Amino acid sequence: MLYFRLLLVRPVAVLVQFKKRETMQVEPTSDITPASDALEVRLPHRLRLLNQEERAKLWLRIRRNWQLYVLLFLPLLWLVVFRYAPMYGAQIAFRDYSPAFGIEGSPWVGFANFERFFNSFYFKPVIINTLVLSFYSLIAGFPIPIILALSLNQVKTRLFRNSVQMITYAPHFISTVVIVGMLFQFLHPRVGFTASLANLFGMAPPNAMGDPGAFRHIFVWSGIWQEMGFNAIIFLAVLSTIDPALHEAAVVDGASRLQRIRYIDIPGLMPTAMVLLVLTTGRVLEIAFEKVYLMQSPLNLSVAEVINTYVYKVGLLSPVLDFSYSTAIGLLKGFVGLLLLIAVNHAARRMTGNSVW
């Protein structure tokens, strides 16, 4: 991907460089000669020749590597169709949209849909539930893959290390529906594992899935169990690029294992960790819709209703389908996520010098 970007950007950079040279104003002095005037006159012609030469080189590279461009075509097509094309429909957040009149035929209402959400009874609980679940998942879940990667990096027994890796990242490939079904079975108040354990100690079996106080903990920690092994793979890859000579020198100097982790491994992980933190924060409001929706029940709905499920219910499940209102809520969520992304990226650049841009 980086090769393709450099391949396409280089001709543009050269063009911009010659454009700057062309538009430079030379102060009138007595040293200007007819030869320099002739050079300025020939610059547009040279620029056209350069454009033709660079364009020919570009098409030659494309013909030589056409297989790679074919592989690149499908991801670009997916990006255009599913990411950029739907942006046209985002304008219904500012309209009183009706399928009978279409997007263009629906009247503009400005920020009325946003004001309706701000004044809604569900605004405060939905926002609070979303933020609590999001930041709880981020704070609890982000360090654990790093800790797991640092621990596995210190294991010398290859069989044990590979076994732990396989056991920890295997849950990532289990579907969300199966995970939620397993939670309901394990935490069932009559036949679940927790019920059997409570009966063994003569205690009343808890109804964890119906307890509003336990919903957030179950949601977050089951997600950490499912994703920590898979998320640790990228940190293990970064640790494998650290020069072993640094560890050998530290051992000679008498550094302990914890000291080597603190002064060698963690600084080596920081650039990658900060970039992932910024990207994760940008999607912090993107709570896993399927999992939250499947775990919801009338008993825990007060803490389980988040923006994604509320938009789904308002836009598709309500008796009167309100596409404009639900789109406005989703657009507001995206705007807040963009602000968080910019703020965290700026903070990361100021504190550590590492950022996405």
Higher-confidence residue of 143 and 33: namely 143
Residues forming a β-bridge with 95: 108
Question: What is residue 31's three-state secondary structure?
Answer: coil
Tokens at 238, concatenated: 């970064």
Q: Does residue 68 sit in the same domain as residue 120?
A: no
pLDDT of residue 101 exceeding 50, the answer is: yes
Q: Does residue 145 sit in the same domain as residue 69?
A: no
**Predicted local distance difference test score (pLDDT) of residue 58:** 81
Residue 191, C-beta contacts closer than 8 angstroms, at least 6 positions apart? 185
Q: Quickly list H helices, the chain.
A: 2-23, 34-64, 66-79, 102-105, 112-118, 123-141, 143-153, 158-169, 176-186, 193-200, 212-240, 244-252, 257-260, 266-282, 289-295, 301-304, 307-312, 323-352
Residue 141, C-beta contacts closer than 8 angstroms, at least 6 positions apart? 220, 223, 224, 227, 228
Q: Evaluate whether residue 105 is within a structural domain.
A: no
Q: Evaluate whether residue 269 is within a structural domain.
A: yes
Q: Evaluate whether residue 266 is within a structural domain.
A: yes
Q: Evaluate whether residue 67 is within a structural domain.
A: yes
Q: Does residue 55 sit in the same domain as residue 139?
A: no
Query: What CATH number does residue 151 fall under?
Result: 1.10.3720.10
Specify the range with the lowest mean pLDDT, choosing from 13-22, 97-106, 171-180, 269-278.
Answer: 13-22
**Predicted local distance difference test score (pLDDT) of residue 319:** 81
Residue that is written with structure tokens 């320099």 in the block:
36
Confidence of residue 22 (pLDDT cuts 50, 70, 90): very low
DSSP secondary structure code for residue 175 in this structure: -
With the CA atoms of 300, 306, 308 and 313 taken in that order, what torsion angle do they form, in degrees rounded to the nearest 10? Answer: 60
Question: What is residue 347's three-state secondary structure?
Answer: helix
The DSSP string of 94-149 is GB---TTTHHHHSPB-TTHHHHHHHTSTTHHHHHHHHHHHHHHHHHHHSHHHHHHH
**Domain total in the chain:** 2
**Predicted local distance difference test score (pLDDT) of residue 78:** 93
Domain of 172, in residue numbers: 112-352
Q: Does residue 54 sit in the same domain as residue 124?
A: no
pLDDT of residue 271 exceeding 70, the answer is: yes
Q: Evaluate whether residue 95 is within a structural domain.
A: no
**Predicted local distance difference test score (pLDDT) of residue 201:** 86
**Predicted local distance difference test score (pLDDT) of residue 334:** 86
**Predicted local distance difference test score (pLDDT) of residue 223:** 93
**Predicted local distance difference test score (pLDDT) of residue 81:** 93
**pLDDT single digits (tens) 202-260:** 888 888 888 888 999 999 999 999 999 999 999 999 999 999 899 999 999 999 999 99
Q: Evaluate whether residue 106 is within a structural domain.
A: no
Q: Does residue 126 sit in the same domain as residue 11?
A: no
| Rg (alpha carbons) of the chain, rounded to whole number | 29
**pLDDT single digits (tens) 297-332:** 888 899 999 999 999 998 888 887 888 998 999 888
**pLDDT single digits (tens) 148-191:** 999 999 888 889 999 999 999 899 999 999 999 999 999 988 88
Q: Evaluate whether residue 49 is within a structural domain.
A: yes
**Predicted local distance difference test score (pLDDT) of residue 57:** 84
Q: Which amino acid is at 253?
A: D
DSSP secondary structure code for residue 351 in this structure: H
Question: What is residue 235's three-state secondary structure?
Answer: helix
Q: Does residue 294 sit in the same domain as residue 178?
A: yes
Name the region of 207 (left: φ>0; alpha: ψ -120 to 50; beta: rest). Answer: beta
Residue that is written with structure tokens 């050269």 in the block:
14
Confidence of residue 39 (pLDDT cuts 50, 70, 90): very low
Q: Output the CA angle 222-226-228, nearest 5 degrees.
A: 110
- Name the residue among 141, 305, 307 with its Cα closest to residue 230: 141
Q: Does residue 272 sit in the same domain as residue 223?
A: yes
Q: Does residue 299 sit in the same domain as residue 342?
A: yes
Highest mean pLDDT among 8-12, 14-18, 31-35, 264-268: 264-268
Q: Does residue 152 sit in the same domain as residue 71?
A: no
Question: What is residue 223's three-state secondary structure?
Answer: helix
To the nearest whole percent, how much of the chain has pLDDT over 70? 86
**Predicted local distance difference test score (pLDDT) of residue 12:** 39
Q: Does residue 58 sit in the same domain as residue 144?
A: no
Residue that is written with structure tokens 């933020």 in the block:
131
Confidence of residue 15 (pLDDT cuts 50, 70, 90): very low
Q: Does residue 218 sit in the same domain as residue 284?
A: yes
Q: Evaluate whether residue 104 is within a structural domain.
A: no
CB 92 within 8 A of CB 324: yes
Residue 110, C-beta contacts closer than 8 angstroms, at least 6 positions apart? 94
Confidence of residue 47 (pLDDT cuts 50, 70, 90): low
Instruction: Give residue 325's Cα distance to chain centre.
Output: 25
Q: Does residue 72 sit in the same domain as residue 185?
A: no
**Predicted local distance difference test score (pLDDT) of residue 286:** 81
pTM confidence score? 0.76
